[in-house]
């Protein structure tokens, strides 16, 4: 099975499913910096305009996940594992009112995984 | 001493059970009638309820602001200046009350709110009360017959989205220049820290005409987003992170309105070998500068979260620095001896812990801390506390590159000035930096070459009014905390006047 750059926990998939039923198709963009930084932001698909500066990381729960290319350069040695915790905030991210926040956990890729990712690089 | 907790009989602070929106000079319940619980991070328990607003409430606030803008925009600068001074005086008379309220709301140590947050907010109001009276337009004589007059005019109605790390101070950083310049405001506090700004509002609400300052509370997606997208506003000011910053620019592009953004950083704090040339009070100051990462529990956009130490002094320097970190007293935020309080929210605590995990996975060495802090007293067992943590590693690690927004410092070493500069600028952000050297040429050259809007030189974490604050690179657009912020809240009107009585002869 191919190495995935981004995955989601069961709790995250369940929340994505619930939000999809309420808001329609979704998308994610990994934020950086300041108060709610480092948080994955969840929006109705198309609400956030991605562009040349972004990189597509994969899908979670059927929703595409993006981050800025320059940020990716610093993060690429880690797998992002999208989880859910109790909390509030998240600026314009859709889950805020649910009393839940998506949270990015991370795992450092093994040497083998890194080699495979480099060989199959789509960046 | 320890201040009594708000809402206990002897406390200086009594929060209401419920806070409504403040629109058009009166408190109005949210259109949908819903409220949300507001939790103190000190104890992890609910202390009041806050209006959970929606687009209808934002519409009402923007309408009230638009109704007020013409009269407010025509008030004299003297009148506006006097109002800002009165606001400052009221806050000063209630400094302790506001400090305790802010500590209860945000979790930060009360010695910081007493000595920094609230005094700086008061001074900021007085600063803009001063500079607005001194501001002048310009006149350009184009030729003997033609004169270009430039007038400052308010933009009209501005939307302001406030972060949770300094709820009152960041509110005043945005409110003061906007009011001074003659704008009306719709302000959205952070949903993590919505109540303390109401304590300020209660003190000053009678000073401002109805509709000039409106506060709409609620969740970002339900209240902040409709404000940022609103066709009835003329500018958005935002402090937060990069993805939302981009979204706010995107929304602003729909209405072709300006934005100012303050989007965080990963500030390098650089210690050259000559700091250890003497064992004196300057060295003591430099060591304190290293420990500044723990100010406000590290929840500062300019947290000096990367320390770069010259290799030749590393062992001796870090030994003293770690001793000082170990001396940080993490305690009850309302205790005046406490140096570091609670993280602002549960999700913030979770995020910081996730970074402690990734730092360890990446192979960074834990020099001190590295875990959630155990709390002995029962009151605070559900609060959000972290040990001040220092990692040793290299600049490509995630803990060196991403803003953790907690009391977590990542330390690395450098051999030469060139290497120090390369590491310092190897980051997406450019908000703050620190340079420590006894050699003025080193300090000056470094300060000029670092790609950051504020370079503290032989100091860190000072925020006086009249020193411009804002970011290079992905840290944002605009300069707060200085009279130049007035430009970000003003339109320029040019009257191009001909005093010639002769036709041009074209037609």
- Dmax over CA atoms of chain B, in Å, equals 88
- The pLDDT score that the predictor gives to residue A38 is 82
Give a yes or no: residue A25 inside a domain: yes
User: Which residues of chain B are within 8 Å of residue A41 when distances are taken between CB atoms?
Assistant: 243-244
Pairwise CB contact (< 8 Å): B402 & A48:
no
pLDDT digits (tens, 9 = 90+) for B373-389: 988 888 888 889 999 99
The yes/no answer to whether this complex scores an ipTM above 0.85 is yes
- The pLDDT score that the predictor gives to residue B4 is 97
Contact B192/A at CB under 8 A? yes
Going along B155-231, which residue ranges are E strands? Answer: 157-161, 184-188, 213-215
Does residue B262 have an active-site annotation? yes
Q: How far apart are CA B259 and CA B257, in angstroms?
A: 7
Mean pLDDT over residues B249-270, rounded?
96
Q: Which of these, B222, B400, B373, lies nearest to B308 by C-alpha position?
A: B400
Does residue B418 have an active-site annotation? no
Handedness of CA B219, B224, B229, B233 (dihedral sign): positive
- Residue in chain B lying closest to A86 (CA): B347
State the CB neighbour count (10 A cutoff) for residue B256.
6
The domain total for chain A is 1
Q: How far is B254 from chain A (nearest CA, A)?
A: 12
Q: How far apart are CA B42 and CA B8, in angstroms?
A: 15
- The residue among A71, A91, A98, A101 with the most chain B CBs within 10 A of its CB, best to mutate, is A91
- The pLDDT score that the predictor gives to residue A45 is 97
Give a yes or no: residue A89 inside a domain: yes
Q: How far is B354 from chain A (nearest CA, A)?
A: 6
Q: Tell me which residue range forms the domain holding A33.
A: 6-119
Give a yes or no: residue A20 inside a domain: yes
Helix B118-134 vs helix B95-106: crossing angle, to nearest 10: 120
pLDDT digits (tens, 9 = 90+) for B136-185: 999 999 999 999 999 999 999 999 999 999 999 999 999 999 999 999 99
Q: Which residues belong to CATH 3.40.605.10 in chain B? A: 18-263+475-493
B350 closest CB neighbour out of A35, A74, A85: A85
Pairwise CB contact (< 8 Å): A85 & B362:
no
Superfamily (CATH H level) for B18-263+475-493: Aldehyde Dehydrogenase; Chain A, domain 1 (3.40.605.10)
pLDDT digits (tens, 9 = 90+) for A8-41: 999 999 999 999 999 999 999 999 887 777 889 9
Residues 6+ apart with CB under 8 A from B243: A29, A30, A31, A32, A41, A48, A91
pLDDT digits (tens, 9 = 90+) for B295-353: 999 999 999 999 999 999 999 999 999 999 999 999 999 999 999 999 998 889 999 99
Phi and psi angles of residue B267, each rounded to the nearest 5 degrees, phi first: -75, 130
Contact B67/A at CB under 8 A? no
pTM of the model: 0.96
Q: How far is B173 from chain A (nearest CA, A)?
A: 17
Which helix (H) or strand (E) covers residue B497, if one does?
strand B490-498
User: Which residues of chain A are within 8 Å of residue B403 when distances are taken between CB atoms?
Assistant: 32-34, 37-38
Q: Please report, for residues B267, B290, B437, B490, the alpha-carbon distance to residue B459 in angstroms, rounded to integers and kept in the order given.
A: 13, 10, 10, 33
User: Which residues of chain B are within 8 Å of residue A48 when distances are taken between CB atoms?
Assistant: 243, 246-247, 250
B244 closest CB neighbour out of A41, A49, A105: A41
What CATH number does the domain containing A63 carry?
2.60.300.12
State the CB neighbour count (10 A cutoff) for residue B214.
28
Mean pLDDT over residues B398-416, rounded?
96
Phi-psi region of B405 (alpha: psi -120 to 50; beta: other; left: phi over 0): left
Residue carrying structure tokens 């926040």 = A101
Pairwise CB contact (< 8 Å): A33 & B475:
yes
Q: Is the pLDDT of residue A83 over 80?
A: yes
Three-state secondary structure readout of B311-370: HHHHHHHHHHHHHHHHCCCECCCCECCCCECCCCCHHHHHHHHHHHHHHHHCCCEEEECC
Mean pLDDT over residues B406-434, rounded?
97
Pairwise CB contact (< 8 Å): A48 & B163:
no
- The pLDDT score that the predictor gives to residue B378 is 82
Mean pLDDT over residues B266-290, rounded?
98
**Residue A89 — pLDDT band, cuts 50, 70, 90?**
confident
Residues 35-94 of A with CB under 8 A from B: 35-39, 41, 43, 47-49, 68, 70-71, 74-75, 77-78, 85-94
Q: Which residues belong to CATH 3.40.309.10 in chain B? A: 268-457
- Residue in chain B lying closest to A28 (CA): B243
- Residue in chain A lying closest to B44 (CA): A87
User: Beta strands B306-310 and B268-271: pairing type?
Assistant: parallel
Q: How far apart are CA B82 and CA B256, in angstroms?
A: 33
**Residue A122 — pLDDT band, cuts 50, 70, 90?**
low
B220 closest CB neighbour out of A49, A75, A91: A91
Question: Mean pLDDT for chain A?
Answer: 92
Contact B37/A at CB under 8 A? no
- The pLDDT score that the predictor gives to residue A61 is 97
pLDDT digits (tens, 9 = 90+) for B497-507: 999 999 999 99
Structure tokens at A45: 């698909």
Q: Is the pLDDT of residue B23 over 60?
A: yes
Do B22 and B215 form a contact (C-beta atoms < 8 A)? yes
Q: What is the DSSP letter of B480?
A: B
Q: How far apart are CA A67 and CA B243, in angstroms?
A: 9
- The pLDDT score that the predictor gives to residue A88 is 81
Give a yes or no: residue A1 inside a domain: no
Q: CATH class for domain B268-457?
A: alpha beta
A106 closest CB neighbour out of B265, B358, B428: B358
- The pLDDT score that the predictor gives to residue B381 is 86
């Amino acid at each position: 099975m191919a190495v995935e750059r981004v995955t989601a926990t069961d709790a995250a998939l369940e929340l994505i499913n619930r939000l999809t039923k309420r808001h329609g198709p979704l998308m994610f963009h990994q934020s950086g910096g300041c108060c709610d930084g480092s948080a994955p932001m969840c929006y109705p698909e198309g609400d956030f305009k991605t562009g040349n500066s972004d990189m597509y990381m994969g899908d979670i729960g059927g929703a595409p996940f993006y981050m800025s290319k320059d940020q990716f350069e610093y993060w690429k040695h880690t797998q992002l594992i999208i989880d859910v915790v109790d909390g509030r905030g998240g600026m314009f991210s859709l889950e805020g009112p649910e009393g839940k926040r998506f949270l990015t956990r991370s795992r450092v890729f093994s040497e083998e995984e890194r080699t495979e990712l480099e060989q199959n690089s789509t960046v | 001493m320890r201040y009594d907790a708000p809402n206990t009989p002897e406390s200086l602070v009594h929060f209401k059970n419920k806070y409504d929106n403040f629109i058009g000079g009166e408190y109005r319940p949210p259109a949908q009638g819903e409220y949300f619980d507001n939790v103190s991070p000190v104890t992890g328990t609910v202390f009041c309820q806050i209006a959970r607003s929606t687009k209808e409430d934002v519409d009402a606030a923007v309408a009230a602001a638009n109704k007020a803008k013409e009269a407010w925009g025509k008030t004299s600068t003297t009148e506006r200046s006097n109002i800002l001074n009165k606001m400052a005086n009221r806050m000063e008379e209630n400094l302790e009350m506001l400090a305790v309220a802010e500590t209860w709301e945000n979790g930060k140590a009360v010695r910081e709110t007493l000595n920094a947050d609230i005094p700086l907010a008061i001074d900021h109001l007085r600063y803009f009360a001063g500079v607005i009276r001194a501001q002048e337009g310009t006149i350009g004589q184009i030729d003997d017959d033609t004169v270009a007059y430039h007038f400052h005019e308010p933009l009209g109605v501005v939307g302001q989205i406030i972060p949770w790390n300094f709820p009152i101070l960041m509110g005043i950083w945005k409110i003061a220049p906007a009011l001074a310049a003659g704008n009306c405001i719709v302000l959205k506090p952070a949903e993590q820290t919505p109540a303390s700004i109401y304590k300020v509002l209660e003190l000053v609400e009678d000073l401002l005409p109805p509709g000039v300052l409106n506060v709409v509370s609620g969740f970002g997606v339900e209240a902040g987003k409709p404000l940022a997208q609103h066709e009835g506003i003329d500018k958005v000011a935002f402090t937060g992170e990069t993805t939302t910053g981009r979204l706010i620019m995107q929304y602003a592009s729909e209405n072709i309105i300006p934005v100012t953004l303050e989007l965080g950083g990963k500030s390098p704090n650089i210690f050259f070998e000559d700091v250890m040339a003497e064992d004196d009070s300057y060295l003591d100051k430099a060591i304190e500068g290293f420990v500044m990462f723990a100010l406000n529990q590290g929840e500062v956009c300019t947290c000096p979260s990367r320390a770069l130490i010259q290799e030749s002094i590393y062992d001796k320097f870090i030994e003293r620095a770690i001793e000082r970190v170990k001396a940080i007293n993490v305690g009850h935020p309302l205790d005046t001896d406490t140096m570091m309080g609670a993280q602002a929210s549960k999700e913030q605590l979770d995020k910081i812990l996730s970074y402690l995990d990734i730092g360890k996975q990446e192979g960074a060495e834990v020099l001190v801390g590295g875990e959630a802090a155990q709390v002995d007293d029962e009151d605070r067992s559900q609060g959000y506390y972290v040990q001040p943590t220092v990692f040793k590693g290299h600049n490509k690690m995630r803990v060196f590159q991403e803003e953790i927004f907690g009391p977590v410092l990542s330390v690395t070493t450098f051999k030469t000035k060139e290497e120090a500069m390369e590491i310092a600028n190897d980051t997406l952000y450019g908000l703050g930096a620190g340079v420590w050297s006894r050699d003025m040429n080193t300090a000056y050259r470094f300060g000029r070459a670092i790609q950051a809007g504020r370079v503290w030189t032989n100091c860190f974490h000072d925020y006086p009014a009249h020193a411009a604050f804002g970011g290079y690179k992905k840290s944002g657009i605009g300069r707060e905390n200085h009279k130049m912020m007035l430009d970000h809240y003003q339109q320029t009107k040019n009257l191009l006047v001909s005093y010639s009585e002769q036709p041009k002869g074209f037609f």
